């Protein structure tokens, strides 16, 4: 798709779209505020000291009245908003001039390292975020943006980085880190569902990332079998030029997941050139179907995720076939995101054997139901995210370094009906690792060897999300002739 900044081809259509959103906003705001009356565990603790029992009793009816009164205006806005989805490209693109430019890679020559981060940031409207024991979306997006850019700001002042990490001889590449790496080349986020949050995050990151793809997904009934009221939540920022981007919506979401346009975002980036040929990389970011609680039909949700991975692999191949040029050197091909299944739960055994793990390599995985000794879970126990032991990045890091801390503060494995199964994992206990960064090598005119320098479990988003971010650093070298 053409990488223009606006999702629309002209300002008139963009203006009509904005008008439709303004007409829908009063009903949207009232609904969100009604859902936001539910308290997080932190708010419950705070209100014990300052009780306010009349808040819901007084505010609730007023919000309900506003919702009813705004319905005619919302209906008018819906009639304007829905048809415009057919003219909207399913993502927005921002291109800015950053404070520093990455050096283009030239081959044959020395090797080069690339750093990737994937994180579920749970930026939903406040009322929906309460389902994950989170709220205060505006405050959280500001903190998330600040934490994501701290490493970038320090990297701009640092000396040139070494191509190797210092680590003990014989140690694995895994680590638990309290901060994001200072040199993240590609940032892939999930659950940036709220449009205002996405725009604010784009504003905060654009001084550091020249290329940003955001507001990804379709709305309404355009290209989907069910009404979509939320986008895909996918968000991608890159230091390197984006050559092409494409989004596909998963057609098989059910229940509450069917209201969001979850799908796959595929991006081709240019990294440099070798003997007149392009050096490119591929990034594929996704968010799979989420479990719907404990249910005897949990296996149906597993099948949905399995089918989504199958569709994703097919779309990846079609995208790469469509945008490849003869002689391209593919430096990396990364598939990442929130997969919503782990490699230790008996309830996720179907997804654990998917073909994606034969096409792509998981640095944390030995095989089905077996991870590397240094791998830990990435899904937190959402009811415990405000406890003192996990309240800051440093405290969360120290807690997760201990098996006792992981048992208490990470979500435990699940059975085939979706029920918790604390006894399923062995020792050391790891928890549910549902956030992945996979990679694969491609044959090319100039062969490259790929080495995993570091895989990080990053606690920097403590208090801002119910997920632990993950980071991957790949070192690519020309293969010896």
Q: How far apart, in Å, are the Cα atoms of 330 and each of 120, 157, 209?
A: 27, 30, 22
Distance separating alpha carbons of residues 329 and 448, to the nearest angstrom? 9
Map residue 423 onto helix, strand or coil: coil
pLDDT of residue 296: 57
Tell me which of 211, 289, 301, 467 is the catalytic residue: 467
Burial of 388 (0-12, 13-18, 19+ CB in 10 A): exposed
pLDDT of residue 213: 96
Map residue 314 onto helix, strand or coil: helix
Q: pTM to 2 decimals?
A: 0.90
Count Cβ atoms below 10 Å from residue 463 Cβ, excluding itself. Answer: 16
Please answer whether residues 289 and 260 qualify as being in contact, where contact means their C-beta atoms are separated by less than 8 angstroms: no
467 is catalytic: yes
List the chain domain ranges. 11-84, 90-478
pLDDT per residue as tens digits for the range 203-256: 999 999 999 999 999 888 776 668 888 999 999 999 999 999 999 999 998 888
Distance separating alpha carbons of residues 352 and 302, to the nearest angstrom? 10
pLDDT of residue 292: 59
Answer yes or no: is pLDDT of 295 > 80. Answer: no
Q: Region 463-469: what's the mean pLDDT?
A: 95
pLDDT of residue 197: 94
DSSP for 118-161, please give it. Answer: EEE-----HHHHGGGT---HHHHHHHHHHHHHHHHHHHHHSPPP
More reliable by pLDDT, 282 or 369: 282
Between 3.40.50.920, 3.60.10.10, 3.90.1150.10, 3.40.190.10, what CATH number should domain 90-478 receive?
Answer: 3.60.10.10
Give the total residue count for the chain.
481
Answer yes or no: is pLDDT of 316 > 60. Answer: yes
pLDDT per residue as tens digits for the range 151-169: 766 565 543 333 333 344 4
pLDDT band at 437; cut points 50, 70, 90? very high
Across the chain, mean pLDDT equals 87
Q: Region 181-197: what's the mean pLDDT?
A: 94
Please answer whether residues 270 and 241 qualify as being in contact, where contact means their C-beta atoms are separated by less than 8 angstroms: yes
Radius of gyration for the alpha carbons in the chain, expressed in angstroms and rounded: 22
- Angle (CA) 3 9 14, round 5°: 115
pLDDT of residue 159: 38
pLDDT of residue 422: 67
Q: Region 305-327: what's the mean pLDDT?
A: 95
Of 228-237, 273-282, 329-338, 440-449, the range with the lowest mean pLDDT is 440-449
Phi, psi at 400, each rounded to 5°: -75, -15
Answer yes or no: is pLDDT of 170 > 50. Answer: no
- Angle (CA) 369 375 381, round 5°: 90
Q: How far apart, in Å, are the Cα atoms of 268 and each of 1, 213, 237, 310?
A: 11, 12, 12, 20
């Amino acid at each position: 798709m053409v990488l223009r900044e606006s999702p629309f081809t002209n300002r008139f259509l963009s203006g009509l779209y904005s008008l439709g959103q303004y007409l829908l906003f009063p009903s949207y705001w009232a609904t969100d505020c009604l859902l936001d009356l539910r308290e997080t565990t932190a708010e419950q603790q705070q209100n014990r000291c300052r009780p306010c029992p009349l808040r819901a009793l007084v505010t609730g009816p007023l919000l309900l009245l506003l919702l009813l009164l705004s319905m005619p205006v919302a209906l008018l806005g819906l009639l304007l908003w829905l048809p415009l989805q057919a003219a909207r490209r399913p993502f927005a693109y921002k291109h800015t001039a950053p404070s520093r430019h990455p050096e283009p890679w030239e081959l044959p020559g020395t090797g080069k390292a690339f750093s990737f981060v994937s994180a579920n940031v749970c930026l939903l409207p406040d009322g929906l975020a309460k389902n994950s024991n989170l709220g205060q979306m505006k405050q959280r997006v500001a903190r998330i943006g600040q934490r994501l850019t701290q490493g970038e700001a320090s990297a701009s002042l640092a000396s040139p980085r070494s191509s190797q990490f210092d680590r003990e001889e014989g140690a694995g590449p895994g680590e638990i880190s309290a901060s994001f790496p200072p040199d993240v080349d590609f940032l892939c986020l999930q659950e940036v569902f709220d449009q205002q949050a996405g725009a604010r995050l784009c504003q905060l990151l654009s001084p550091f990332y020249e290329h940003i793809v955001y507001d990804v997904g379709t709305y309404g009934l355009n290209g989907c079998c069910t009404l979509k009221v939320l986008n895909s939540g996918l968000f991608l920022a890159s230091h390197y030029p984006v050559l092409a981007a494409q989004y596909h919506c998963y057609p098989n979401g059910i229940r509450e997941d069917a209201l969001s346009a979850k799908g796959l975002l595929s991006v081709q980036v240019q990294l440099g050139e070798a003997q007149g040929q392009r050096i490119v990389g591929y990034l594929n970011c996704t968010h799979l179907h989420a479990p719907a609680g404990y249910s005897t039909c949990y296996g149906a949700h597993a099948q949905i995720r399995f089918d989504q991975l199958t569709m994703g692999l097919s779309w990846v191949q079609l995208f790469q076939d469509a945008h490849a040029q003869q002689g391209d050197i593919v430096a990396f091909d990364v598939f990442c995101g929130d997969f919503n299944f782990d490699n230790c739960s008996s309830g996720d055994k179907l997804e654990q054997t998917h073909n994606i793990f034969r096409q792509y390599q998981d640095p944390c995985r030995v095989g089905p139901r077996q991870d590397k000794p240094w791998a830990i879970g990435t899904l937190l126990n959402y009811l415990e995210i405000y406890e003192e032991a996990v309240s800051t990045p440093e405290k969360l890091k120290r807690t997760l370094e201990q098996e006792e801390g992981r048992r208490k503060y990470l979500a435990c494995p699940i059975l085939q009906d979706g029920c918790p199964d604390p006894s399923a994992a062995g020792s050391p206990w790891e928890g549910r690792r549902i956030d992945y960064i996979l990679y694969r090598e491609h044959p090319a005119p100039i062969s490259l060897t790929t080495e995993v320098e570091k895989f990080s479990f990053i606690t920097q988003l403590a208090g801002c999300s119910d997920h632990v971010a993950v980071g991957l650093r790949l070192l690519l070298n020309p293969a010896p002739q």
